[in-house]
Amino acid sequence: MSALPQSPVRQRIVLADALRGFALMGLYIVHMVEYFELYWYKPEPGWIHNVIFFLFGGKAYGIFALLFGLSFYIILDNYDKRGVDFRARFCWRLTLLLLFGYIHSLLYAGDILQLLALCGFLLVLTQKLSTRFIIAISAFFLLQVPQLIAIGFHQFAGSSTYESPKFIHFMGSNFDMFAHANLPSLVAYNIFDGQFGKWWFFFETGRLWNIIGLMYAGAALGRLGFFEKSQHKLSVLLVGVAGVALLFFLFQAIAPSAAGLLHEGMARWSAEQLFAYYGNLMVICGGVFLFIIAFQLAITNKLITAFAPAGRMTLTFYLAQSLVYVPVFYGFGLGAYDFIGQFWSLALGIVGWLVQMALATWWLKNHRYGPMEWVWRKLTFAGFRQN
């Protein structure tokens, strides 16, 4: 039996835990107001939808990806300091996460754990590169270079490419199943057919590249000790907020005219997605800066750190949310997608989040890890004895 030295005790980064908890809340609230995807079966846009999606839609998952990259760096760095190459064991850890995600997707096809796990293997492959290379890789994907190439292909290939996103077709079939299938039929469908819509969505919208870029950004920030600094200069953070706000409004201003220069169909649609993701990236950056400011201010520190316990149990809560609410919204259960409305789904979500925060605080008083975090850790080290 192989033995791994016990990694050095590294104090948890409360700021990162709190930010992860905040991102979990954002993702959860988005899922609630979109009825775990069934809102799109019969969409009725309103102010609640617009506000929630402006604040969290396309952003909360990005913060998750950023912090996933940070966690990757911390875990491998802990073992590097003891002279242990942990990459193979981390690949096993990612494989477990991929398995958790696939099992989760049998109930909720929109699972994001699979994507995070698969992208995590790229981090392992490039872990020995210099920080400059890691930053360059992050910039390559955050600038959406693959999406720019796709736009060029659609523009110059013209009518030889398809004219509308393929994920829409797959999602339409998914929504019919979510709304009307019984549980055994839903699970059977999600084993294979229910997976396509998500992956086409990640690819066609550019979200795949965004997640990879943010994961590399998180790893780079970990190397630079960004989240471990006790204090960041308030003036620098405020300048950062102002800068990303300016860029956000710039992207909003030029997006319609820039996209309008392209052919109708996939070229123009992909360009619209490109500018939307540029805007989302600015909101993510601005949100992180504001979160750090609030964390550092005495008047708001307690409010911000209250998210930290939930941030330490994100895997447990992310999976539990689907177990609780998919039966509420889907056709095999209460079918609430058809009558609840976004006001009451938001209200239910807020109450549910307060319960989760209370549960996390209570649980971590007597346990070091959340239930699924503990299982993940135990399986990660299965067959290894840590000294």
Q: Find the helix or strand (DSSP H, E) in which 248 lies.
A: helix 234-260
DSSP letters spanning 262-322: SPTTHHHHHHHHHHHHHHHHHHHHHHHHHHHHHHHSHHHHHHHHTTHHHHTTHHHHHHHHH
- DSSP label of 6: P
**Which pLDDT belongs to residue 6?**
47
To which residue do tokens 């016990």 refer? 6
**Which pLDDT belongs to residue 10?**
53
Q: What is the pTM of this model?
A: 0.92
**Which pLDDT belongs to residue 1?**
38
**Which pLDDT belongs to residue 255?**
86
To which residue do tokens 């080290």 refer? 381
Contact 227, 13 (CB under 8 A): yes
Show Cβ contacts of residue 114 under 8 Å, excluding neighbours closer than 6 positions: 98, 101, 102, 105
pLDDT in tens, 297-334: 999 999 999 999 999 999 999 999 999 999 999 999 99
Cβ neighbours of 343 (radius 10 Å): 12
**Which pLDDT belongs to residue 159?**
57
**Which pLDDT belongs to residue 386?**
55
- Residue 384 backbone phi and psi in degrees, to 5: -120, 140
Residue segments in the chain with a per-residue pLDDT below the cut of 70: 1-11, 158-162, 230, 384-387
**Which pLDDT belongs to residue 164?**
80
**Which pLDDT belongs to residue 260?**
80
Euclidean distance between the first and the last CA atom of the chain, given in angstroms as a whole number: 12
The residues spanned by each domain of the chain are 2-386
Q: Is 82 helix (H, G, I), strand (E, B) or coil?
A: coil
Query: Which residue type is seen at 387?
Result: N
pLDDT in tens, 31-79: 999 999 999 998 988 999 999 999 999 899 999 999 999 999 999 988 8
